[in-house]
Chains A and B, each alone.
Chain A
Amino acid sequence: MLHIKCPYCGMRSQNEFSYGGDASVKRPELNKEISDEEWDNFVYNRKSLRGKHLELWQHLSGCRQWIKVERDTATHEIFNTYKADEEISQ
């Protein structure tokens, strides 16, 4: 079971969180004309990569905040966690 540092609550067990997918996906702006391909990429296509992955989790049974977690998908190592609106310098 992963141990995730919620930026608001501190270290908590994985069973308090729910997974929310790739955090690098940006929703296209409302009312913006975009191609089918762009929309398709937003709704369906994910990289499913092996290694460092920035992903969303929600601290569901805690503060209910959505957070960003930088995790290695192969080793489960967590490098860092951020608030949802935090700027991340890569």
Chain B
Amino acid sequence: MTQKFRLENGGLINRDKKLSFKFNGKTHYGYEGDTLASALIANGVHLVGRSFKYHRPRGFFGAGVDEPYAIVQLYRNNETEPNIKATEQELFEGLEAKSVNCWPSVNFDIGAINNFLKIFLPAGFYYKTFMWPKSFWYRIYEPFIRKAAGLGVASTKHDKERYEHKYEYCDLLIAGSGPSGLASAYAAAKNGARVILAEDKPRFGGSLLTSDVNIGNQSGEDWANGIIAELKEMPNVVVKNRSQVFGYYDHNMLVMSEKVSDHLPKTKKHHPKQRLWYIRAKEVLISSGSIERPIVFGNNDTPGVMLSSAAKEYLKVYGVLVGKNPLVFTNNDSGYETAIEFKKNGINPIILDTRVNPQSEIIDEAINLGIKIKFSYVVVAAQGYKKVCSADIAKISDNKKQLGTIENIKCDCICVSGFWTPTIHLASQSGNKTKFKEEIDAFVPGTSKQNETTLGAANGIFTLEETLKSSFTAGQDLSKKITNKDNKISFPNVVEKISSQHDKFWCVPLPKGKNYKRFLDFQNDVAVSDIEIALKEGYRSIEHVKRYTTLGMATDQGKTSNLNGLQLVSDIENKVVPAVGHTTFRPPYTPISIGAIVGREVGKHSKPTRKSPMHSWHEKNNAVFVDAGVWLRPRYYKQGNENLFEASKREAKNVRTNVGVCDVTTLGKIDIKGPDAAELLNRVYTNAWLKLPVGKARYGVMLREDGIVMDDGTTTRISENHYHMTTTTAQAANVLSHLEYYLQVVWPELNVNVVSTTEQWAGAAIAGPKSRKLLEKLFPNNDVSNEGLPFMGYTEAELFGVKARIFRISFSGELAYEVNVESDNGQFMWEKIIELGQEFQVQPYGTEALSTLRIEMGHVAGSELDGRTISYDTSLEGLISKKKDFIGKRSLNREAFTSGDRQKIVGVVPLDKKTSIPEGSHLVKDAKAPLPNKKLGHISASCWSVEYDNPFSLAILKDGKNMIGEKLFVMSPLKNKVIPVEIVSSHYVDPKGERVRS
């Protein structure tokens, strides 16, 4: 296969390295340095896809980020990626790509029938057509639209690539490496500023790579290469290609996507595929250049119609001809540059210039080269279906309203230039109020809101000399402010051709009797007629017109369509463009992969995993772990073929009959010190704290200011001004913030310090009737008798030479102790407990047994303290002091909190004593009542009572206080269960609490 449209010489590609690739299953060849687009054009392939709505054939329109429709599905290293612009994807050996939005193939697309039904697909057709009957939406309309729309297919496989995030700070961030970016970066770097220069393309230099200019007696390209080489050597400069600054956020935070590996057949080992840079810059220089604007004419979406700047780039960078019989349609001098480039390569272009009699150096050059030029001429319509084969052209009157006789001339491409649109997306995203610049019919940045400066073409400056001058100055001045250095740079001599004034012509009128589609937005298939309909139907605000017609939406963000759309609206409305205003530019400027946004925070990497010091023992002893917040806790310890139910029952039963040990390291622990510590506790908890003696623990409940229970736990007085607070695992962080808030903001006069010690202490709960006997073995030198260490007592002790704290507290409802040692000694403590506990049949128990034990005791936990319950609801109202004030107390006399039939915690037992009750089920009076059946309460926690060997649940039930003994039904539509139950006391086991005191 020959590359029929590749020039013999020229371009910046590496002709020594030939690459093979596949497009729609067919093998082609290109060179290293090609994009997929340039390689396809070199092979004469111009049909790449079908359009979004009408499924019209679509080719290439641009040569880079400006491309609205050459979007392909990419296959790389056994993975697939949608929405890749062929003009941005670099070619690599073995690349595979397919057309999107067409079925069964790009050459024969059934959806193209939409093109003939276009009368039924006007602006807003979704809203009009699919409105009724309502029931059709889910079954018929939506599936149809989903199938018809969309530009690619997302992979459903797990993305195995690695994506990284990087945080960076710099003095100057410069977005774009064209003349203004290079000049400002160079000047700032010479002043010692820390500079990041970002270029979205693989090659640096921007327009210098394609324009015929001379800087300091060098070609533009050589000058650019020299500057880049120098910058790369400087330690204060980071130069990045393939890196798009796509978003400008608050406080000069910009985000840049670096494509590290997308140009390679496969990501190198230990490398990321892409890297997202969060850059906080002191100053931002936007040198994003400009994008050529199309002129609107009939069938201007036909493959072969493209921007003249793109045609020039394919020629100069890739050595590729977009056609051998080109027509250049222009309203300014830029089209001439493209025509001259064709001519220099032995091709004879024809120029149609909308202007009457323009005069400039470059026009003279074209005339001297013998290029055929037709002034006051326009392209009325492109002819050809899958590729341009000719053009209908006509003379246009001086007032640009009347067309002369239509002639047809042969051509194989139409290169369009409608002047230039500054790329102001970043400036606009930063909050810059843009202004309309009459001379160039476009918006440019106005007053800066953040520390941002826009340079060169992005600021509407289209001469090289002025661009370089202002950019050198900007780089110098801004860096001087930061580094206080002032290295003057001599300004190079610039040679360029001066252009003549462009023509403000942007849309060719329709000839009589023809209704060619004239497209404004190529990506979203929005034509002139769609905007006309929207306005006729009463849409006025440009933001509404945008949403109704989809103009300027999606991944394109109006790069080539925005201004022509505004021109049309202002023409119809008889307004000027600035009065219409432009729609909001939103980040990202170009599509960013979800992988890059997520970064490495995938799966288990999304948050740290916390493990207790005894974790490896649990692992060795067949623990099955469960996520408890960020902690990994043993759920149960599997013996033989046991399942969860059997194991947890065994473990809980062993606690009730012998002794068990549970890892409670994860409980939140807060160390509280200071002369006002007791006063703080007294204000934070609902019960009284001022008289707690040293060496005693107390259970406390804390509320939010709105009266809802926030957390519970025990706090122990270690010494006169020293307390040890425990919180639930889940609320540990919130409780600490809560205490800090009151100490720092509300009551700064309290002399108290709080600090988290959760990770400093390893904790083991030793529970069961034989726990004291085990404790006597563990602490032979300490008095752990009922008198020496009574219920809610505390003592410091020594565990075979290791300092320990013993708290006599109980969550299981049995005689129980909690032993804490410093984390490093956790494993030692645990092994000692297991070793010395053998004679008392000690067994470790996990969170499942722990739950069972607390549920049948009626002890509340997170599922009851769920952010909706007050003390009364959870039977903790006995702990509310009447004598003192505390956080949230004033809320407790709210009407809803004091009403007689307020919800309350109860126990629930199935009548058959067999059927287990699903958590979250509702309690109802009548199982057969019509829906919606009135809910009286819900099941908050369920277990299999090991004490009575039947299911038992806790529930929060309306008027629970008076419901004991009632028969109700538990309903779980989710599990399809209806269970007759009896309401009992929530204290199912040992209601008097004798065991903990035994």
Bound together:
yes
Q: How far is the CB of B673 from chain A (nearest CB, A)?
A: 16
Of B449, B683, B746, which one neighbours A75 at CB under 8 angstroms? B449
B740 in contact with A66 (CB, 8 Å): yes
Cα A28 to Cα B740 in complex, Å, equals 18
6 A-B pairs closest in CB distance: A3-B251, A30-B885, A66-B744, A76-B250, A31-B885, A85-B748
Q: Which of B881-934 touch A at CB < 8 Å?
A: 884-886, 890-891
The yes or no answer to B745 lying at the interface (CB within 8 A) is yes
Instruction: Collect the chain B residues with CB atoms within 8 Å of residue A88's CB.
Output: none
A-B contact pairs, 20 of them (CB 8 A): A1-B249, A1-B253, A1-B278, A2-B250, A2-B251, A3-B250, A3-B253, A3-B280, A13-B280, A28-B890, A34-B890, A44-B706, A58-B740, A64-B740, A65-B740, A66-B740, A75-B449, A84-B748, A85-B744, A85-B745
Give the distance in Å from the alpha carbon of A44 to the alpha carbon of B737 in the complex.
Answer: 20
Q: Determine if B94 is an interface residue (Cβ-Cβ < 8 Å).
A: no
Which chain A residues lie closer than 8 Å to B253 at the CB level?
1, 3, 13
Residues of B within 8 A of A30 (CB): 683, 885-886
User: With A1-B250, A75-B449 given, is the CB distance from A58 to B737 under 8 Å?
Assistant: yes
> Besides the contacts A43-B705, A66-B745, what 5 more A-B pairs have beta carbons closer than 8 Å?
A1-B249, A1-B250, A43-B706, A58-B737, A58-B741
**Taking the complex as formed, is A18 at the interface, i.e. its CB lies under 8 A from any CB of chain B?**
yes
Is A27's beta carbon under 8 Å from chain B? yes
Contacting residues of chain B (683-706) with chain A, CB-CB under 8 angstroms: 683, 705-706
Q: Is A9 an interface residue (CB 8 A)?
A: no
Q: Give bound CA distance, A60 to B740, whole Å.
A: 10
A residues within 8 A CB of B265?
none
Question: Contacts A39-B891, A66-B740, A75-B449: A56 and B250 contacting too (C-beta < 8 A)?
Answer: no
A 22-44 contacts with B by CB, 8 A: 27-28, 30-31, 34, 39, 42-44
Say whether A62 faces chain B, with CB atoms less than 8 Å apart.
Answer: no
Distance (Å) between the CB of A45 and the closest chain B CB? 12
Binding site for B on A (CB under 8 A): 1-3, 13, 18, 20, 27-28, 30-31, 34, 39, 42-44, 56, 58, 60, 64-66, 75-76, 78, 84-85
Q: Which residues of B contact A44 (CB under 8 A)?
A: 706
Total of A-B residue pairs, C-beta within 8 Å: 57
**Which single residue of chain B is at the shortest CB-CB distance from A83?**
B744
**With known contacts A1-B250, A76-B251, A60–B737 Cβ distance under 8 A:** yes
Q: Does B591 lie at the interface of the complex (its beta carbon under 8 Å from any beta carbon of A)?
A: no
Q: Which residues of B contact A3 (CB under 8 A)?
A: 250-253, 280
Shortest Cβ gap from B252 to chain A (Å): 8
A39 to chain B, nearest CB (A): 5
Interface string of B68-79 (1 = CB under 8 A from A): 000000000000
The interface residues of chain A, by DSSP majority, are classed as loop
| Contacting residues, chain B, for A28 (C-beta < 8 A) | 890
Closest Cβ of chain B to A80, distance in Å, is 14
The residue among A30, A44, A75 with the most chain B CB atoms within 10 A of its own CB is A30
Per-residue CB proximity of B202-236 to A under 8 Å, as 1/0? 00000000000000000000000000000000000
Q: Is B431 an interface residue (CB 8 A)?
A: yes
Q: Which residues of B contact A2 (CB under 8 A)?
A: 250-251
Chain B residues lying within 8 Å of A1, measured Cβ to Cβ, are 249-251, 253, 278
Known: A2-B251, A13-B280, A43-B705. A27 touches B737 (CB 8 A): no
Contact: B744 with A65, CB < 8 Å? yes
Name B895's closest neighbour in chain A (CB-CB). A36
Number of residues of chain B lying within 8 A (CB) of chain A: 25
- Contact A43:B891 (CB < 8 A) given known A66-B745, A85-B748: yes
Q: How far, in whole Å, are A64 and B363 apart by their CA atoms in the complex?
A: 68
Chain B positions within 8 Å of A27 at CB level: 705, 746
The residues in B between 272 and 318 inclusive whose CB is less than 8 angstroms from any CB of A are 278, 280
A7 to B252, CA, bound (A): 20
Evaluate contact between A20 and B280: CB separation under 8 angstroms: no
Tell me the bound Cα distance from A43 to B706 in angstroms.
6
CB pair A18 B737 closer than 8 Å? yes
Chain B residue with Cβ nearest A67 = B744
Given contacts A1-B278, A3-B280, A31-B885, contact A84 B745 (CB under 8 A): yes
Residue of A nearest to B169 (CB): A11
Taking the nearest CB of chain A, how far is it from the CB of B814, in angstroms? 37
CB neighbours (8 Å) of B740 from chain A are: 58, 64-66
Q: Which residues of A contact B890 (CB under 8 A)?
A: 28, 34, 39
Query: Which of B280, B431, B744 lies at the interface centre, i.e. has the most chain A CB atoms within 10 A of its CB?
Result: B744
| Interface core residue of B746, B886, B890 (most chain A CB under 10 Å) | B890
CB neighbours (8 Å) of A34 from chain B are 890
A70 to chain B, nearest CB (A): 14
Write out the residue numbers on chain B whose beta carbons fall within 8 Å of the beta carbon of A66.
740-741, 744-745
1/0 per residue, CB under 8 A from A, across B736-774: the answer is 010011001110100000000000000000000000000
What's the Cα separation between A18 and B738 when bound, in Å?
12
Contacts of A56 in B (CB 8 A): 741, 745
**Bound Cα distance from A77 to B985, whole angstroms:** 57
CB-CB under 8 A from B884, the residues of chain A are: 31
Q: Name the interface residues of B231-253: CB closer than 8 Å to any CB of A.
A: 249-253
Most chain A beta-carbon neighbours within 10 Å: one of B706, B745, B748, B884: B745
Output the nearest chain B residue to A33 by Cβ-Cβ distance.
B890
Docked complex Cα distance between A41 and B598 (Å): 40
Candidates B280, B449, B705, B886; contact of A42 at CB < 8 Å: B705
Q: With a CB–CB cut-off of 8 A, which chain A residues contact B886?
A: 30
For residue A77, give the distance in angstroms from its CB to the closest CB of chain B: 9
Q: Which residues of A contact B745 (CB under 8 A)?
A: 56, 66, 84-85
Contact residues in A for B744 (Cβ distance below 8 Å)? 65-66, 84-85
Q: Whole-angstrom distance between the alpha carbons of A58 and B449 in the complex?
A: 27
Contact with A along B866-885 (1 / 0, CB 8 A): 00000000000000000011
Q: Looking at the assembled complex, report how far the CB atom of A18 sits from the nearest CB atom of chain B, in whole angstroms.
A: 7
Q: Which residue in chain B gives the minimum CB-CB distance to A28?
A: B890
What separation, in Å, do the CA atoms of A44 and B250 have in the docked complex? 29
* Nearest-Cβ distance from residue B168 to partner chain A, whole angstroms: 12
Q: Which chain B residue has the least Cβ–Cβ distance from A3? A: B251
Distance (whole angstroms) from the CB of B671 to the closest CB of chain A: 14
How many whole Å from B709's CB to the nearest CB in chain A?
Answer: 15
Which residues on B sit within 8 Å (CB–CB) of A60?
737
Q: State in angstroms the CA–CA spacing of A56 and B738 once bound together.
A: 13
B-chain residues with CB within 8 Å of residue A31 when the two chains form the complex: 884-885
**Across-interface contacts of A39 in B (CB, < 8 A):** 890-891
Chain A hits for B252, CB < 8 A? 3
Complex CA–CA separation, A2 to B167 (angstroms): 14
Which residues does chain A contribute within 8 Å of B737, judged by CB atoms?
18, 58, 60
Contacts of B431 in A (CB 8 A): 75
Within 8 A of A (CB), among B725-740: 737, 740
Contact pick for A20, options B167, B278, B706, B741, CB 8 Å? B741
Interface mask (B447-459 → A, CB under 8 Å = 1, otherwise 0): 0010000000000
In the complex, what residues of B have CB within 8 A of residue A85's CB?
Answer: 744-745, 748
Nearest CB of chain A from residue B971's CB, rounded to whole Å: 34
CA distance A71 to B50 in the complex (A): 49
Give the residue name and chain of the A residue nearest to B742 (CB). A27
Q: Which residues of A contact B167 (CB under 8 A)?
A: 13
- Give the docked Cα–Cα distance between A1 and B705 (Å): 30
**In angstroms, how far is the closest chain A Cβ from the Cβ of B493?**
42
B209 smallest CB distance to A (angstroms): 35
